[in-house]
Structure 1
Amino acid sequence: MKRMAKKYDVIIIGAGPGGMTAALYAARANLSVLMLDRGIYGGQMNNTAAIENYPGFTSILGPDLGEKMYASATNSGAEYGYGNVSSVEDHGATKTVHTDDGDYIAKAVIIATGAEHKHVGVPGEEEYAGKGVSYCAVCDGAFFKDEDVVVVGGGDSAIEEGLYLTQMAKSVTVIHRRDQLRAQAILQKRAFANDKMKFVWNANFEEIQGDGNAITSVRYSDKVTGEEHELNAKGVFIYVGIKPMTDAFTNLGILNDQGWVITDDQMKTTVPGIFAIGDVRAKNLRQIATAVGEGGLAGQGAFNYIQDLADKDLAAVAK
């Protein structure tokens, strides 16, 4: 027997830093709030060994910061539940959130599902995740001061992050599978002019090697000759693409042609009552701090939207 759909004022899809902040703000505004996530709360913070660029902390473990944010949200009244969301339907004043475990109804929905970095799928990538393998130079570059690091990829993100890494690393070697970069011309010009940047062309990235605790080297092969090479490195930054987690929202008409959610500066989508925050948005900087700021805006925005609905209902009754 199918259970009755539970009703909330606000449903937040995703419980990363942005989602938990939105839950905090909405719950403190005396709204009933449910955070739905297909995994443990905290999002990508759970895969981050140490966070050193979040205000208020010199350094904090990612899972620990997640615990603190979760406590703030739930202590304010927000609920947390497991839910693999398959779709969202807009009915105007209400929205239906469909999950594998049943349906939920809300007046407002905040999308905070994030994005996932594409992996190269080589041996050592999963083993050394958080131990030298990174997908964010801004997050982890400071851990590799005066060390040799590798960047895998040749697009804008790879070169932008590689240039950023030259500020602290001893050297940055870009390993690319083609014979030329795909990045914008201006980025290529800056990269080629930087003495710290080196390039390996026509290379198949084969393996990340280490001692079990940290990375020691990488292995790649020449696509032309087949010859294999080993390169000493302490860090590997992978930029072979990033994919927004938006498959459940394709029916809403709020995505661009790359699948990112489009919002205004108040985190509103083109569907009234549906907001989006964090890494799932079309934007340039994807960081905990930016997600938290957007979460605050969306939580307050959801409150304002629901208040407007109530005012309209009162006005209709008064007529």
Structure 2
Amino acid sequence: MPNSPDPSPRPVRRLAGWRLIVVVFVSVFAVGTSSWAASASWTAAPVTLAGSAAAASVSVTSTVTTPPTGQFAVQVTSPPVTETTHLGAFTYANTGTVPLALTVAATNTNGTLAANIAVTFWSASTAALCGSSVPASGTTSGALTGALTLPAAFASVPAGSSLALCVALRLTTTTAASQGQTVTATFTLTGRVGANWSATAASAITQSVYRVPDPGTVTCTNGTGTSTDPVGTVTLSFPRAVGATSYNVVRASTPGTVIVNAVPPDPNAPTIKVNGSQLGVLSLGSVPILVQAVDGTYGTVSAGSPYTLNVVVLGLLGLRC
């Protein structure tokens, strides 16, 4: 009888197959559950990056696009709005690469006048669209000496864009109260991204208040002894002051006390006569005086052009040049 094949090798092959499966499973499981094994066994071809990364830039510009009228001259009676209020415009631009929140602050060179100028802001897409009057809504208000708040449109200005900041400056006192004063206000614009990135730019506006100018150099002529030009009286002559409606003569020591106010017969060649009783002289000597121009339309008085008169004995105390 032929020998039967030994059946024992078949189970061995099956066992070997199970061992292979176990080895493969263990290997896969080890790679899948060990981060070190995964990163160590993974490779990839190098990749070249196209393009570049650029840091954000923060920058702003400020331009006085429409300068406001530079001088306030407010009439005493029924002044028009154009005299009390000056309109202008800045153009604020975000020249950086990220949106910016804009704020503005003002400094000044004359706190007294700055306190008497009210500021109103509103926004427009361009300075040409600011209009010719202050709008009824959408404005913010302050003073050149106080905190200034920009309109809501400036809370987030996109990169590469610009906005017009329309401004109205209003004198809150009279011409007489602020005459001759000047203030330069510097508006500093700040653009911010978060708490640490910022950029600034500044623009300045100068405002003044009208004061009638002094008359020219004063000359003097002694009285000739006629009925209209008695001895002891002097005639003061001077070039006219532009805008003057009359002239004062005052003592230099008390410039606020008017001795003589006169409207000259010839406004182009003004003269004023003064005698000792008008000056109230009580003793011999010199008396410094000022000749002031008066502009009654705007209620302003000039500082005065100086001259010194002499008190002499002419029967009674009288004046001489």
Normalised-by-shorter TM-score class: under 0.3
More helix by share: 1
Query: TM-score, structure 2 length as denominator?
Result: 0.21
Whose Rg is larger? 2
More strand by share: 2
